[in-house]
A and B are shown apart, each in its own frame.
Chain A
């Protein structure tokens, strides 16, 4: 893995809080490595106001760690600190949970030389808690609270937009405040500069970021997903793939006294309409079926991929297999409200797989009460979809929370507590009977389910992107 990749990996670890499906908020020092001279970064990043608070116990622990006269390691010198770095990496990757990886790197300086491998992304459950998939632990971040505790327009993930301040060639590492972040929402983009870095570890008051919201699409159209590739912002709507020129917007955000930025110019570079597979219907052979469809845009290894997810109903519809084989080379895609690509061997995910989280119907209906619902894993090599989490591991409770070690922990933050006890979104009465057959089994992926990944653009940008392959289904 190249240096840049390591940096990008570390930075993507910092992926933002206000997303349904993302990595836990961590600030490894190696983050700065991700910063390059490019204005736009193809990485997502955590913003400082969202860091969890440090409990007192940590401070105490760190105090004992700081004690130079620590004699716990007395006696004959141990060779373990001299473990070759390549072996430290193997051990790191053998540790499935982020907590264990962080602990290992905190042991001694030599063990910290290797960058923190990107962990298996955490799933953000709708009650504001996070699920660490490898060990099934549920983590609370009281200072993060619920959905309304964050930037209201950050629904589609936060990207590091531009690094201000010192040149990336001149260390020391820039602080998080030296960067601009962008959050792409359904119809606008919010560009913000986080508050002072010194505040990151404190619970409250939160540092106040400067937020500039720019409308990037007409009201009649909503954006499904956005991604950065080679310094350019891409976004997809139902019909089109757009590329945005953000230079002016960035310039005006850099100068906080500047005028509100104009709508950034955009160019449609591909037409995505597929008459055989629309938002509501899919044609297989001569038959047309009702379907529900979700589209995601993911940057993976210098390629821009569109992932489409399809659920066909009624459940008597055909079994679907839709896929275009793409050489993924150790990549796993995680798609949700904020899609991303990770190195599978690094985080312990299965390679050549698309992990998708439950999709809440945006209109307010929900398909079942299981917090993971229809989350599943699509294996691109054999076209099979399996549930992310077997029922035996996590049993749903009636209020839609997972039973976990920490699931019932008393939460000191009123906002988070409120969210914990909030029942799930109401089930849409009309849809339920139709979907009942599909979702009667919690945590199960419905059988009439398909996923398709197609390439929209590659690192060497083409004016004429590849035509999207037709939705091809077979029984």
Chain B
């Protein structure tokens, strides 16, 4: 009885200690471990929030088999930076001069954060953000991608993203209808 009781107490203590920890450990597909603020992880990622709430966080590193170490490092870096950044009231763009929807513009540090990434790293990061349900990071990365496309022709976009044109002639005829006006002014 005594032993059992002690075991129970130990279990409880461990649980309390776990709950008290303010970081979680994440493990990338290639086995690298990363520590991230629990608060930021729960706030920024719906998937991690669910895992933390559901107790499926592994102290020895929660496996995230879909995410490579480089992308996970960026995710963790983003979370930690976000946790340390002063929340800005200027999430809504001040540059909107037309009466259109107030898009949530990235903050300066977020802009820099994605600007330094290579195209491949950006792709991996946007996929990781999607997988982890990180709405804000998705916004920031997709904003970056859209910035890379603005004002470019399909050919130019293909060049930037190294994409092969895979259309058939019939499909091109359809696209012609769309492009007719879009290219008119160019």
Contacts and interface: CB of A to CB of B under 8 A. Distances in A.
A28 interface: yes
Given A29-B174, A388-B98, A100 B155 contact: no
A253 to B, nearest CB: 26
B133 to A, nearest CB: 11
Interface stretch (B21-29, B72-80, B107-115, B162-170): B162-170
Interface in A58-92: 58-59, 61-62, 64-67, 70, 72-73, 75-76, 78-81, 83-84, 86-87, 90-91
A214 B139 CA distance: 51
B179 A102 contact: yes
Contacts of B186: 57
A67 B165 CA distance: 8
B146 interface: yes
Contact of A78 (B162, B174, B181): B162
Nearest to A71: B164
B146 A108 contact: no
B42 interface: no
Given A55-B184, A58-B176, A65 B165 contact: yes
Interface in B77-116: 97-103
A61 B165 contact: no
Q: Report the contact-size class of chain A (Cβ under 8 Å from the partner).
A: 35 or more
Which secondary structure dominates chain A's binding surface? loop
A120 B100 contact: yes
B180 A52 contact: yes
B162 A75 contact: yes
B142 A94 contact: yes
Contact of A86 (B98, B130, B166, B175): B130
B57 interface: no
B153 A61 contact: yes
Interface residues of B, number: 52
A388 B171 CA distance: 37
Contacts of A29: 174, 177
A393 interface: yes
A94 B140 CA distance: 10
A102 B98 contact: no
B98 A108 contact: no
A169 B183 CA distance: 34
Contacts of A26: 177-178, 181
Residue from A103, A388, A409 having most chain B Cβ neighbours under 10 A: A103
A112 B158 CA distance: 14
Given A87-B130, A96-B100, A201-B177, A66 B161 contact: no
A155 interface: no
Given A107-B165, A109-B171, A406-B185, 7 more contacts: A26-B181, A65-B155, A73-B159, A106-B154, A106-B175, A350-B99, A393-B98
B33 interface: no
Interface in A1-47: 24-29
Nearest to A94: B146
A377 interface: yes
A409 to B, nearest CB: 8
Interface in A222-246: none
A27 B177 contact: yes
Interface stretch (B1-9, B12-20, B44-52, B120-128): B120-128
B64 interface: no
